[in-house]
Each structure stands twice: as C-alpha cells, then as structure tokens.
Amino acid sequence: MTTTPATPADRNLDAACTAVTGEIARTDSKASLLLAFDGATLAGLASIADKDLPVFTQAVGGLAVLALAAAAVLLLLVVRPNLGNGGRTIREGLPYWARLEESELRQSMTEDTRAARVKALSILAVRKFQGLARAVDIILTALALLALAAIGALA
C-alpha cells in the first residue's frame, strides 16, 4: 500500500488539533486546582463563622465569601462539559457524531474536518481561558478582602 506524504497543511492541521486539545485539558486542570483551593478557603472561613469578630471584619469577610462563591461558579462553568455548538452547525465532533446513523458516521469519517475541529475547539478553549482568567481575578480580589478583614480583626 502506498501512502502519500503529508503536506505542510496536513501537518499544521494535525498539530493545531493536538495543541488546542492540550490547551483545553490544561484549562480544565487549572480550574480543578483552583476549585479545590477555593473550596478549602471557603471551608476554612466556615470554621470561623461563629466567632465573635468585629463588624468591619465580618462585613469584609462576607464580601470575600461572596467573591469566592462567584469564582467557584465561574470555575464550575469552565469544567462543565459543553456538548452544544453555540447555535452553529458544526459537522465535526462528538455531539455531531452522536446524532448520525452508522452509515452517515462512516461517510463523515471520509471527510477532512480538521479545520472545523480546530475552529470549534479553539472557540471552546478561548471561552474556558476567559472564564479561568475571570475566576483568578475574583479569587485575588477575595484574598485581598480577606487580608483586609484580618487586619481589621487585629485592630
């Protein structure tokens, strides 16, 4: 059996598919780690909820808890499976393949859909990174609020 050598476009599409898939996995891993940190911080704050603290510390600490809860929601949305296509018809990927009959699936496997895959996965990766960035910003804000609350508790 003879094979045709891969063209630069073939190599680039394969590399892009691999790269974008890797970025999505990295984002999910980062979000999972931040969720664990967020949860541990919230658990720690819950352990001091019944303590007699100054009103300022309680108020600022409450804002920090709300910020951590908002960050947790964003992180959950980052790791949430996305089986939709945002209203676009994409002839590529798991949700599309799941709707096909076996003969249609076989036919679709004869088409080169790598460019569509790269596009769809890139859109998903960018959304995940945006959510992750927002969550990190909110967590940093919560940590600043917690530092301020701690200073208020010492005063």
Specify the higher pLDDT residue, 72 or 6: 72
pLDDT digits (tens, 9 = 90+) for 128-140: 999 999 999 999 9
Residue 143 lies in a domain: yes
For residue 57, is it within any domain?
yes
pTM, whole model, 2 decimals?
A: 0.83
Q: Kindly report the backbone phi and psi dihedral angles of residue 117, in degrees, each rounded to the nearest multiple of 5, phi listed first.
A: -65, -45
Flag whether 8 is in a domain: no
Between 114 and 36, residue with greater pLDDT:
36
2 in a structural domain: no
Decide if pLDDT at 3 tops 70.
no
Within-domain flag for 104: yes
Does any domain span residue 3?
no
As to burial, measured by CB atoms within 10 angstroms (0-12 exposed, 13-18 middle, 19+ buried), residue 86 is: exposed
Residues 6+ apart with CB under 8 A from 118: 13, 16, 17, 20
**Separation between Cα atoms, residue 64 and residue 42, nearest integer Å:** 9
Enclosing domain of residue 117: 15-81+88-154
Query: What contacts 141, CB < 8 A, 6 or more positions away?
Result: 67
pLDDT in tens, 60-91: 999 999 999 999 999 999 999 877 655 555 66
d(CA 137, CA 131): 10
Find, among 63, 68, 70, 57, the residue nearest to 148 by Cα: 57
In a domain, 6, yes or no: no
Segment 108-116 mean pLDDT: 88
Give the total number of structural domains in the chain: 1
The enclosing H or E element of 112 equals none
Who contacts 76 (Cβ-Cβ below 8 Å, separation ≥6)? 35
Task: Indicate the burial class of 81 (C-beta count within 10 angstroms; 0-12, 13-18, 19 or more).
Answer: exposed
